[in-house]
Structure 1
Amino acid sequence: MAISGGQKPAQRPARAQWLDSGNSITQQFMAIGGRADIVSLAGGLPAAELYPVEAIARASERALARWGSVALEYGSVEGLPALRAAIAERISASAGRRFGPENVLLTTGAMQGLDLLGKALIDPGDLIVNQFPTYLGALDAWRPRQPRYERLDWSGEGPGFEAGLRQAKFVYAVPNYSNPTGVLVSQARRAALLDKVLEAGTWLVEDDPYLPLQLDGAAGPSILALHGERHPTGAYDGPVIYLGTLSKSLVPGLRVGWVVAEAGMIATLALAKQSTDISSSMFTQAVALELIESGFEAEHIPRIVAAYRERRDALCAAAAQHLSEWFSWEVPPGGMFVWMRAKSAEIDTNALYACALEEKVAFVPSSVFDPDGRLTDAMRVNFTRSSPEVITEGVRRLERAVQRYLASKAGRAA
């Protein structure tokens, strides 16, 4: 049901190729995270011990008292109206212009927003200009649609800004603490991208799940807000499709996310959602509304930020002691990940991954963040899930894994 057509692929076997190759990596990381014998620095998961269980229990009681059976019913496809209004108010405050409930679609996590965009916009063979390396979940969501990819060049000088944008169905960007690199894109580069998108007349998908996790300094205005500065009045009709979530500021188990866009796009995505799940959970939306309106979410964010800052620093300190001979990295100012790049071409992180599992530690090799799978000289390491002590032990195991890998490689060469 994509909005416009694209080149159709050659006939394939009944079992789609993406099913054979696309789901195993994510499943592996989730399974590894549940094993007590492995230190997993792989998953993009919050710290479970920081989940506000008691606060959510109280919010659940208030939600049921307030909404009664409405919270237990199927709801409107677009989501609980009061929560849509609350999200619209939040976005309006940060973006410098008015957004209404008609600009908000509530989703089952931000991941569903990515999936719905694929269903609504992508035909096989269509082009996506994507920030590179690219979030694995986005690649998973769009793989069934069989798009083509071109790298987003933030400098404004590469082919992703000229040849690519005019043919692209949309641009995909994660300016705040990108997964996997942790990069915070400058305001100047955000503005330059917006200029090019407006010139090309295409959509810009701004994925912003890590906004609450500002560990050092402020992230600055979103691209949606930059557009609002230029067009502060009237009904929103801009090209930016903005995705957010409560998974990082509260808990992922609520599965509450949202898409903010012009009203016509929201209606299109709602049609795609109707055939996907009828509606997201009214109960968790009602609980989320209580946590937002009571001010608890705002109180909780500084607690998790303080813990994550300590864990990031522990990871970088341990890596400086144990991994700096082979890898380089930048300390991310926010988010959940450190992106470590091999200093030598002799390190292939796909092969290193197997040695890491033998040492009972896991990371994510860079190849999964490349649509072509060719990026093999880096790894994503998570710091939010584990305590500083566990992180330090995991880095020690990574050191042994690198030593094992290089020794094995030297032995084969001999």
Structure 2
Amino acid sequence: MSGSRDSASDPAMRRPDFAAWMGQGNSITQQFLSFGNRPGLIALSGGLPAAELYPVDDVQAATERALATHGSAALSYGAVEGFPELRETIARRLSTERLKLTPENVLITTGSLQAVELIGKALIDAGDAILAEYPTYLGALDAWLPRQPRYAELAYRERWPEAKFAYVVPNFSNPTGAVLARAEREALLARSEESGIWLVEDDPYGELRYDGAVQPSLLEMSARPESTVYDGPVVHLGTLSKTIAPGLRVGWAVGAPEMIRALAQAKQGSDLSTSTFCQAVSLELIRADADRRHVPTLVDAYRERRDALCAAAQEHLSDLFDWKVPEGGMFVWMTARRPGLDTNALLSFALEEGVSFVPGSVFDPSGQASPSLRLNFTANPPERLQEGVRRLSRAVRAFASQRAAAE
């Protein structure tokens, strides 16, 4: 949350044309996901869970229960806001003594990324300002690109009053893996209250915690204990994609009823409703606590993979990059020690060595060249992560040698 770069005040710092950057019509997200299909390539670029750990048996059992319990309702068109029983279940699960939620606080979405897109659709007009972390989630930048917004950093205090909303991933941020401390969360809520703007809390990784203490959600912190239904400024986004499987495409937005109604209206023009069948299956999974029972398995496996990647990096990359071991999530964020290293240019050398990563520039709303890169550790077993780091080390050294020869 440091720095003061602001795309709202400098047109040259706006998000670049993705199609021009690619040279093709595909998005950056599609490109990096496609690396996983290259024979022999170790993809450290995707933000993917471990497919071999999906709880297939639990999903099969939940599917059978969904059809037996809900019958034709699970195969029909559904309400835009979502399967009523699923909305009620999400509201009940997220409620606490301080935070009181009802189904009118919940919108079911087609993955949490749809909720991100709907927020842009409901709130952003061309030229509006969004407050975000630098770097921030590429999926959000992709989702809002057609709305033509401007960006300013969260810490750029004077921009808050004119922004439409602030966007933050407080737990194990994508791409940095960082966690917002309690004091930082309190500061964000205070600024939201002062400026009167919405605060979007995107939390897909919160349950993937390997170390450290649990922090309260911005949603709960913003609740008024005396209120009978939540009506605060936070829009909280969640998903089953990281705790069960992304193929279900079930997520949710939780917020004040007025915001949920606005998002539902925006959703109606997108897909009428999230798949009722997938919602019914998800309902049965949550009723059986399948996601919560599965999380310890994921945490144990992902902790081992995180440690394997970081240990290999310590052996092969510690003279070239700095990083922090993340307390949770799916990513390690590395920054080159040598000034001026451009990870966009480094990528082609990595691909030649048979490994991929994501350059830091694509997470910057201004699109500036970056000495940082993001590595994913959840999608590969430890031995492939170790080999991927060795390949990356060779690529960086080859790149550095070429640069030195040219200077």
Please give the alpha-carbon distance, in whole angstroms, between the structure 2 residues aligned to 1:180 and 1:61.
37
State the match for 2:94 in structure 1: 91
Q: Is the counterpart of residue 243 in structure 1 residue 246 in structure 2?
A: no
The counterpart of 1:178, out of the listed 161, 173, 185, is 173
Aligned to 1:104: 106
Q: Describe how 1:118-133 pairs up with structure 2 within 5 A.
A: 118-133=120-135
Distance of 1:316 and 1:18 partners within structure 2: 31
Q: CA-to-partner distance for each residue in 1:312-368, whole Å, 9 max, x for gaps?
A: 000100000000111000010000000001111142111111100010100000000
Counterpart residue number, 2:389: 395
Aligned to 2:188: 193
Question: CA 1:291–1:390 in structure 2 vs 1: closer, same or farther (change >3 Å)?
Answer: same
Number of the residue aligned with 1:13: none
- Give, as a single letter, the amino acid of the residue that structure 2 aligns with 1:358: E
Greater shift, 356-365 or 372-381, is seen at 372-381
For residue 240 of structure 1, report the CA deviation from its aligned partner: 0.5
1:68 counterpart residue number: 71
Q: List gaps (5 residues or longer) in structure 1.
A: 1-6, 11-15, 154-159
Residue 52 of structure 1 and its aligned partner are, at CA, apart by: 0.9
Change (3 A) 1:374 1:19: closer
Are the structure 2 counterparts of residues 380 and 17 from structure 1 closer, same or farther at C-alpha, using a change threshold of 3 Å?
A: closer
1:32-53 CA-partner distances (Å, limit 9, x unpaired): 1122310000000000000111
The 5 A counterparts of 1:33-52 are 33-52=36-55
Change (3 A) 1:21 1:270: farther
Paired position in structure 2 for 1:218: 213
Distance 1:340 1:187 in 2: 24
Q: Distance in 2 between matches of 1:346 and 1:270?
A: 46
| Secondary structure class of the residue paired with 1:385 | coil
SS of residue in 2 equivalent to 1:381: strand
Matched letter for residue 202 of structure 1: I
Q: Is 1:263 paired with 2:267?
A: no
SS at 1:196 equivalent? helix
Conserved 8 A contact 1:47-1:386: yes
Q: Is the 8 A contact 2:98 2:225 kept in 1?
A: no
Partner of 1:227: 222
Measure the CA separation in 1 of the matches of 2:330 and 2:270.
29
Counterpart residue type for residue 38 of structure 1: L
Offset from partner CA, 1:69-103 (integer Å, 9 cap, x none): 1111111000000010011011113x722110000
2:104–2:257 contact (8 Å) kept in structure 1: yes
**Aligned-partner SS, 2:269:** helix
Distance (Å, rounded) in 2 between the aligned partners of 1:293 and 1:375: 46
Which residue identity is paired with 1:328?
D
Preserved contact between residue 134 and residue 365 of structure 2 (Cα < 8 Å): no
Closer/same/farther in 2, CA of residues 18 and 351 from structure 1, 3 Å limit: closer
Alignment check: 8 A CA contact 1:98 1:232 kept: no
- Per-residue deviation at 1:20? 5.0
Matches of residues 274-313 of structure 1 in structure 2 within 5 Å?
Answer: 274-313=268-307
AA aligned opposite 1:388 = P
Q: 1:346 to 1:264 in 2, by over 3 A?
A: closer
Q: Return the TM-score normalized by structure 2.
A: 0.93
Q: Distance in 1 between matches of 2:396 and 2:362?
A: 20
CA contact (8 A) 2:235 2:253 kept: yes
> What displacement does 1:24 show?
3.1
One-letter code aligned to 2:91? A
Distance (Å, rounded) in 2 between the aligned partners of 1:242 and 1:346: 37
- Report the residue type matching 2:332 in the other structure: V
Partner Cα distance (1:63, 1:222) in 2: 31
What whole-Å deviation, never above 9, does each CA across 1:105-154 have from its counterpart, x for those lacking one? 0000000001000100000000001011110000000000000000112x
3-state SS, counterpart of residue 237 of structure 2:
strand
Q: Structure 2 counterpart of 1:366, which letter?
A: G
Q: Distance in 2 between matches of 1:81 and 1:323?
A: 51
Note the C-alpha offset of 1:18. Answer: 5.4
Tell me how far 1:17 sits from its aligned partner.
5.4
Q: Distance in 2 between matches of 1:243 and 1:145?
A: 20
Task: Pick from 138, 143, 146 the counterpart of residue 144 of structure 1.
Answer: 146
Shift of 1:232: 4.2
Partner SS state of residue 293, structure 2: helix
The answer on whether the counterparts of 2:309 and 2:386 sit within 8 Å (CA) in structure 1 is yes
Deviation at 1:407, TM superposition (A): 1.3
Task: Identify the match of residue 400 of structure 2 among 380, 399, 406.
Answer: 406
- Report the aligned-residue RMSD: 1.6
Whichever residue aligns with residue 150 of structure 1, its letter is A
Alignment of 1:335-354 (within 5 A): 335-354=329-348
CA contact (8 A) 2:18 2:28 kept: no
Q: For the Cα contact (< 8 Å) 1:45–1:384, is it kept in 2?
A: yes
Q: Residue 113 of structure 1 aligns to which amino acid in structure 2?
A: A
State the one-letter code of the partner of 1:209: P
CA distance in 2, matches of 1:18, 1:45: 22
Q: Secondary structure at the match of 2:136?
A: coil
In structure 2, distance between residues paired with 1:381 and 1:45: 11
TM-score of the two chains, using structure 1 as the length reference:
0.92
**d(CA) in 2 for partners of 1:341, 1:327:** 5
